[in-house]
Structure formats: C-alpha cells, structure tokens
Amino acid sequence: MGFRLYREIRDHAPAGWTHAERLVAWVIADDASDETRRSWIKLPEIMARTGIKTESGVRQVLQRLAARGYEFRIPIAKGRDGRPVFAAKGHSLDFLVPSMPHRRLQPGTYGKGDSDEAPIAAKGDSPQSPLSSVKPSLLNGSPNVASRRARASAGAKHNVQTIIRAVKAAVADVHGEREAICLSDEEALGLYYSHVTEDARAGIRDLPAYMAKILGDAPYLDTFLANSVPVCVTCVRWEDECRCPAA
C-alpha cells in the first residue's frame, strides 16, 4: 500500500495544512498504491479512520485541500457549468494522491532514524498529535447531529449574509485569512447554527466577536467543522434536508 506516499505527505505536506486536512490526506495516501498513487477507499472508511463524523465533513476537507491546490479527487465528468464532477449515482469518489513539493526538514524535527513515529513538535508547534481524539470539552457543548435536524433558521435574528460575513470575519481573526478564504458559505452557516444555541441567537449584539470567542475554544478550526452540518444558503436547511435543485 502507500507506505512511501504516507511518508511523502508526512515529510513534505505544506505547513499550512490543518489537522483534518493532514488526517484525510494520510488515510488516502496510506490506502493508495505507491506505483499508481491511486486509491479507491470509500468515504465511510475515511470517516472511521479519521474520526470525522459525516461524509459531508470528509467532502469539506477534500474541497479545502483542492482550494489549496491539492486535488485528491479524480474527476469523472464536467457539469453544465464546466466544473469537474467527482461522483455520481453508481460511481463513488476515486482518489489520486498529488505530488508534494519538497520541503527541507528542520534539524531535530524527527527522532533518531527514519521511523514511523510521529514528528517531535518543534518550538512553537502545538504538542497535540494530529491523530489524537478531539476532547468533548472543545466542542463547546454542541448538540449531537441527531438533535440538530430541526429547521436551521428557527429563532435566527441575523440574516444569512450577515451570519456568513460575521463567521468568516471571526475565522480570519482567530485562525487567519487563509482559513477564512477556504471557508465556504455553507460551512460558515453550519458553524453558526451548529454551535450557537437558539436561545443565544436573539441576544447577540456583536456577532463576529461572539463567534471568535466560540472558535477560540479549540486549537483547530477543523475541530468545529468536523462536528458541524453545512447549511444550504438558499433554503437555510441542513445539507441532508435540503431539496433545492442542483446548480
């Protein structure tokens, strides 16, 4: 399997990749052939190996990797708008591990020898291993997925575009402009409705500051994205309840 590909990503993935992006890339690379770089791993297996709770969560991570210039998905066709289509009825996602740019490792980054042990954190890096589990306390007490199936817009004080702008501003403030640029409008709405209780919404005066405080409770933005459900910007319903026609 992808022993060499796993190491390639481990050693040369861009430093700006997030926790979840590295996890998904590692899992796909580990399953892929070293010779062809291809993998046919299924989304449920990626979920099981990474701890990401939903298929949409995995798809979001893949979209974010693509936005950074690292497309793991193999297109099977083009849509009416000219954009690539990666999956269709009867055809699941296939993957091709992109080449990583050579990155010189800093002395002392790894332990003695070329082992499979996790890299030793350099000064200033987070000591948390990318493979460690997310602590429930970091989720700010968000409800489980089953309890979030109610209409997303119930009790909302702010309109959709106000929420999107506020969440992206908070992400930029806490996690940087790059993360805010990669965040889709659906993800921004999902962060708001998944992690701000209905009772709290009416009393929020400074929404960007409120969201920044919530996002600051965890070291990785993907901690929240993996435990959020994207919300359709058109009908303002959870992604799996949306019945809007495809663009």
pLDDT above 70: percentage of residues in the chain: 74
Mean pLDDT (whole number) for 182-200? 85
34 and 2 Cβ atoms separated by less than 8 Å: yes
The string of pLDDT tens digits covering residues 130-164 is: 433 333 333 333 434 333 434 444 344 678 999 99
Query: Which residue type occupies 187?
Result: E
The string of pLDDT tens digits covering residues 159-174 is: 899 999 999 999 889 8
Residues whose CB is less than 8 angstroms from the CB of residue 203 and which lie 6 or more positions away in sequence, other chains included = none
Question: What are the residue ranges spanned by the domains of the chain?
Answer: 3-96, 136-241
Instruction: Please spell the DSSP secondary structure of 50-87, one letter per residue.
Output: H----HHHHHHHHHHHHHTT---BPP-EE-TTS-EE--
The chain-wide mean pLDDT, for the chain, equals: 76
Nearest to 212 by CA among 148, 168, 163, 157: 168
The string of pLDDT tens digits covering residues 80-90 is: 777 888 877 77
CATH class of this structure's domain 3-96: mainly alpha
The string of pLDDT tens digits covering residues 205-241 is: 899 999 988 888 776 777 677 767 778 888 888 776 7
